[in-house]
Structures are given as structure tokens and as C-alpha cells.
Structure 1
Amino acid sequence: MTGDSPAPEFDTAFRERFEQLLRWRRDVRAFRPDPLPEGALQRLVETASLAPSVGYSQPWRFVTVSDPERRKIVRSAFEEANRDALAGYDGERQQLYARLKLAGLDQAPEQVAIFTDHGTARGHGLGRQTMPEMLDYSTVNAIHTFWLAARAEGIGAGWLSILDPVRVTRALDVPEGWSLTAYLCVGYPAEESDRPKLEQAGWEEKAAESVTILHR
């Protein structure tokens, strides 16, 4: 006897609902200003922490960003990086890029930075001597779990990667050894869709080969 609970059975109805959850999880850029219910963000972080991690290292570190001055630095970092990114395109692609809404910084009631703690002693280095990047991948697992848990509660998240991670890390004054993996805007979506925004905007189409399995 281990004392563990019996394993649940996930029936067809559950699997269909889970697929719906995956299909309706969107990278949200437009938010309603409504605040999240008290305790919602903490609950989502706790659920995210159920994600797998290399060597059971649990290297993710969630930082809520509410200070106006720190948010201002993040916005400035985005604007600068966005200008540089725009300059990297030309012609019709540049015009299309300029029309894209790539951040929800002004609307989302919550902003959350997620770091990977590369100095963690948890896990005792198991599984990462040959692939140290597994720590970062573990944090990405937690972020995706957060994303799905949020969607299950009708809450949206937008992953903002167009910014200077070093500048943001410095602005948030986190411990040495933490590296920025994601900056999320979190709140209730202004609209719902099961189609990615970038597909709707004509930026990119769904890749047919993404579901191809190679046999060797």
C-alpha cells in the first residue's frame, strides 16, 4: 500500500473536452479591463507547478508585475524591440507587421514574468548535465500548463517575446541566476476564437507538416 489515490479514468467525453481546450487556447492580445477574481492568479500558478520538470527541479519562478514604473520600463522595452523588428521587414510584410497587435500591456489587468532559476539545487542536476537547456524547457512546460489552466477558467494569456530580456530582468530586480523565459499579459479576452490571430491576419497559415510523423 502506497497511500496514493487510485488513478482516474479519462473517458471519451473528457478527451473531447480536452481537445476543445487545446483548440480554444489562444495567444490573447486584446483584453477586457475586468480584474481577475481574488486568488485566481495564485490558483493558476499552483496548477502550473504541476508541470513536469527535469530531475524534479521545478525551476520556474513567477513574478507578478504591478508597479507602474516597472511596467513602464517593460512597455519601453517592447516599443524599442518592436521598432527594430518592424525595420527587419520590408514591402507588404512590413505593412502587415505594422498592423498586427502584438501586446496587451495597456489592457491586461495582470502582467506576469516567468523566469528560469539556473542556480537551483533542486533535482541535484539530474538529467541536465548533457542538456542544461532542459531547465528552460521545464519552465516552458509550466507556462503551457498555466495557459491551459487559465483558458479552462475563461482567462486569457498573451506571451510577449518582443522585448529585451536583459533589460526586463534588470528592471524586475530578481535574484542572480534567473533568466527571463516569458512575459505574460493575463486577463479576460475581449473576444473569443478557435483560430489563431496570426492566421486570421494573414501572417501565417497552419502548417500541414506539423502533424507529420517521420519514420526512421
Structure 2
Amino acid sequence: MDFSEVVSRRRMVRSYRPDPVADEVVDRILDTARRAPSAGFAQPHRFVVVTDAAARRRVADACGEPAALARGLAPWLSVAPVHVVPCVAIADYEARYAAPDKEASRGPSGWDVPYWWVDGGAALMMLLLATIDEGLAAGFLDVPAADLRRAADVPDHWTPLGLVTIGHAADDTAVGSARRRPRRSLDEVVHRPDR
């Protein structure tokens, strides 16, 4: 699949078939995601992968799926065969910017933007696009970090960004709100002060 097709197919999916995803496919997705850019090439990207059914139920419970089911929504998190928790290791920036070739740079304490979030977002997008490239679907859920940390056994020195679900989409109606709302036009999102 070429890049423009991968991008055009990217949607947030909330309904999956229970079919498993092969470990080698998950590994290819993660191998792509770990290649995301990072400030100073600090390489802070980390990923927790949960595929065991009981562990996925624990994650789903911690992420509020029982309350969603009580509101009449279909199960999403517990059905997705793969959970990935993209994380950043913030300490990697401190170590990298203390190195001789970087110590003169502004580094973590002098940046106007905390680049670990920028770099984590880049890894998240790589994860989503790599999933589509494998012919699968993905969704993302913002979850309180403490709840996700406990449920997915995230190492203490990793900071979770949220939860990505991966699997085979149940159907095309499982797509998030993108189908209900039109995408903003290029003119709405681009400012060209020189024109």
C-alpha cells in the first residue's frame, strides 16, 4: 500500500473482530513505530504490549469499559486482540542532553516545548500508520496514566500516552466520529502570511 493510501485509510476504530494478530505482525508495527524522530535522537519511545485476554480485560476495566457497556455501548477494549501502550522515557532526554555532544544545547529544562510529548506523538502516529499498512485497524483512548500504569504493568520510569487498540475492524461502521464530521479544508488549516 502506498503512503497516501495508508494515510487516507487511517481512522479511529472502536469495534474489532476477535481474530488474533500474529506476533510477527505486531513486531513489524512496533519496529516501524520505534523509528519515529526524537529530539537529540534520545530515542525515548517505549511500548507495552498486552495480548493475553485476561490482561486485556484488566486494561479494559481500568479504562472504564464497564461504564461504557452500562451506557449501552458495545465492547471495544476487551475485544481488541492487541493493546499497545505507547510511552516515553523522559529520563532519556536528561541523559542525552548531558552527553558531551549535546551539553551546549538547551535540553529538557530549557525547551519552550517539552519535546518528549512531541516525540511521543510522532511515535503514536507511526504506530497508527504502521498498523494500517499491515491491513489492520487501530483506535486510541486517552486514559489516566495512573490507571493505565497499574493495569498494563507499565514500568515506573515510562510515562504512558494512552492506549492503542489493534486488530481486524469488525465493519466500516466502527469508525469514530470522523465519518460524521467533515475534515477541515486545507484553506482552513494553513496560514500563508506572504500571500
Q: Please indicate the TM-score interval, normalised by the length of the shorter structure.
A: 0.7 to 0.9
- Listed one character per residue, the Cα deviations across residues 63-99 of structure 1 (whole Å, up to 9, x for unaligned) are 112355543443233327967xxxxxxxxxxxxxx67
> Residue 178 and residue 122 in structure 1: after superposition, are their counterparts in 2 closer, same or farther (change >3 A)?
same
**Are 1:212 and 2:183 an aligned pair?**
no
1:77 and 2:83 are equivalent in the alignment: no
Partner amino acid, structure 1, of 2:177: L
Distance of aligned partners of 1:178 and 1:135 in 2 relative to their CA distance in 1, 3 Å threshold: same
Q: Secondary structure at the match of 1:199?
A: helix
Q: Out of 81, 87, 90, which is 1:118 matched to?
A: 90
Amino acid paired to 2:59: V
Give the secondary-structure state (helix, strand or coil) at the position aligned to 1:39. helix
Asked whether 1:53 is paired with 2:38, we answer yes
Shift of 1:191: 2.6
Aligned to 2:145: 165
Letter in 1 for 2:117: D
1:182-201, aligned counterparts within 5 Å? 182-192=162-172, 197-200=176-179
Question: Structure 2: how far apart are the matches of 1:25 and 1:135?
Answer: 24
| Equivalent position amino acid for 2:7 in 1 | L
Q: Which residue of 2 aligns with 1:9?
A: none
The match for 1:180 among 152, 160, 167 is: 160
Segments of structure 2 that go 5 or more residues without pairing to the other structure are: none
Change (3 A) 1:69 1:99: closer
Report the equivalent of 1:138. 119
Partners of 1:73 and 1:168 within 8 A in 2:
no
Q: Name which of structure 1's ranges 67-76 and 46-55 shifts more when overlaid on structure 2.
A: 67-76
- Aligned position for 1:109: 81
TM-score normalised according to structure 2 size = 0.77
How far, CA to CA, are the matches of 1:199 and 1:166 in structure 2?
A: 29
- In structure 1, runs of 5+ residues without a counterpart are 1-13, 84-97
8 Å contact from structure 1 (residues 62, 113) kept in 2: yes
Q: 1:5-20 counterparts in 2 under 5 A?
A: 17-20=2-5
Q: C-alpha distance in 1, partners of 2:134/2:155? A: 31
Is 1:34 the counterpart of 2:19? The answer is yes
Pair 1:80–1:21, CA change in 2 (3 A): closer
Aligned mates of 1:107, 1:69 — CA distance in 2: 11
